[in-house]
Amino acid sequence: MEKLSEKELHALVSLLDDTDREVKSHVIDRLISIGHPVIPFLEKKWEESFNPSIQKEIEDLVHRLQFLQLKERLVDWKNSPDQDLLTGLWIINTYQYPDLEFEKLNADMHQIYFEVWTAFKNDLLPYEQVRIINGVLFNSLRFSANTKNFHSPGNSMLSNVLETKKGNPISLCSIYLLVAKKLGLPIYGVNLPNLFVLTYKSSDASFYINAFNKGLIFSRKDIVNYLEHLNIESREVFFEPCSNIDIVTRVLRNLIVAFEKLGEIEKSEEIKELLEIIEG
């Protein structure tokens, strides 16, 4: 990483509106080589500038630097031994909210866990445990399906879902899953076509939970019927727990569709780059 004095940085940024494309390209490359630490300086220059073209150059540059950092974080996450779900969702979340701190998301999730935990008793049967989680998440805290704006990118941003209390199947399942994991329950994600659900799977109980429908409990037979209705051949992967990397992959796929539907093709292309990191 290159280190420059404030004076040198000022001189570089002042060249961003240079009419010589080669000069401008060199300046951008130099600033990118400095990396993420240069962002606060660039943001300050944006505030001080009254030149719209320089402001636009700075905005594009800051986005490129933030996106590079996001990709680095995603590579590290993919290579981490546990592939922690909350960390993965936070990294995706920073695409729309670059300044979001992991600690903030973690604290908000802990508050939800605490609400469930205070209503919880360990000696309950599996169905009763799920009913308590359902009661807190969907009645007390009023989380619900975002049916009006189903394809909104905000549905894939955990911070947005925590704030609005509305999400899509995978974001609502992720919240449920993170709480259940902290409670030590054998609840996992299940990758169904067009729908993401959960399964409670232990040696003495096995059933499914639809967080998009207020935690509705259903059976393996219901999944068979669902697949028949869609004319999709039944495969074991539709009944078994999936990994955190599967969940992050699905969130990214949802985001690609969301941005395409909004006509934000540049954003959908960037999300495809993130998907390539996960699937590569």
Q: What is the pLDDT of residue 3?
A: 67
Cα–Cα distance for residue pair 95/74, rounded to 1 Å:
11
Neighbours of 62 (CB within 10 A): 19
Q: What is the pTM of this model?
A: 0.89
pLDDT for 241 equals 96
pLDDT for 18: 63
Cβ 32 vs Cβ 65: under 8 Å: yes
**pLDDT by residue, tens only, the chain of 280 residues:** 456 677 777 777 766 766 667 777 777 778 787 777 788 888 887 788 788 887 888 888 889 999 999 999 999 999 999 999 999 999 999 999 999 999 999 999 999 999 999 999 878 999 999 999 999 999 999 999 998 888 899 999 999 999 999 999 999 999 999 999 999 999 999 999 999 999 999 998 999 999 999 999 999 999 999 999 999 999 999 999 999 999 999 999 999 999 999 999 999 999 999 999 999 8
Q: What is the pLDDT of residue 17?
A: 66
Would you give the distance in Å from CA 174 to the centre of its chain?
Answer: 10
Predicted confidence at residue 2, as pLDDT, reads 58
Phi, psi of 84 (to 5 degrees): -55, 130
Determine the pLDDT at residue 1.
47
Q: What is the dihedral of CA 266, 84, 200, 249, to 10 degrees?
A: 20
What are the tokens at 126?
Answer: 């599996």
